[in-house]
């Protein structure tokens, strides 16, 4: 299994989904703590599964337990936890 990390900020939808498609991404694991923010644009949890399936043929999973946490966000708590905007995308090649 190959694992990649991709951010969506400062990218157009074309750049974001184009990169995923070009690398043959089969599954996107969303590790953001806050994936419903209006700042998420095309990468909102409610839209991302559809776009991934239709544009890339990829699946979507949300796992906030894997979100990066810093001492700052752990000590300050909400609303500062929403500032993590990384997604993890992977090419899954399982042995037969």
pLDDT in tens, 24-51: 989 998 888 778 776 667 888 888 999 9
Question: What is the reported pTM?
Answer: 0.68
- In angstroms, the Cα distances linking 40 to 46, 52, 61, 88, 92 are 10, 15, 16, 15, 26
pLDDT in tens, 70-89: 555 555 554 444 434 444 55
Q: Cis link prior to 66 (omega < 30° from 0)? A: no
Give residue limits of the domains in the chain.
6-91
Beta-strand relationship, 59-62 and 27-30: parallel
């Amino acid at each position: 299994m190959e694992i990649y990390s991709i951010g969506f900020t400062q990218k157009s939808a074309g750049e974001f989904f184009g990169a995923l498609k070009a690398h043959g991404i089969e599954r996107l694991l969303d590790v953001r703590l806050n994936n419903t923010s209006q700042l998420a644009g095309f990468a909102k949890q409610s839209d991302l599964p559809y776009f991934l399936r239709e544009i890339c043929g990829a699946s979507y999973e949300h796992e906030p337990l894997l979100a990066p946490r810093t001492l700052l966000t752990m000590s300050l708590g909400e609303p500062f936890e929403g500032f993590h905007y990384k997604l993890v995308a992977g090419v899954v090649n399982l042995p037969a």
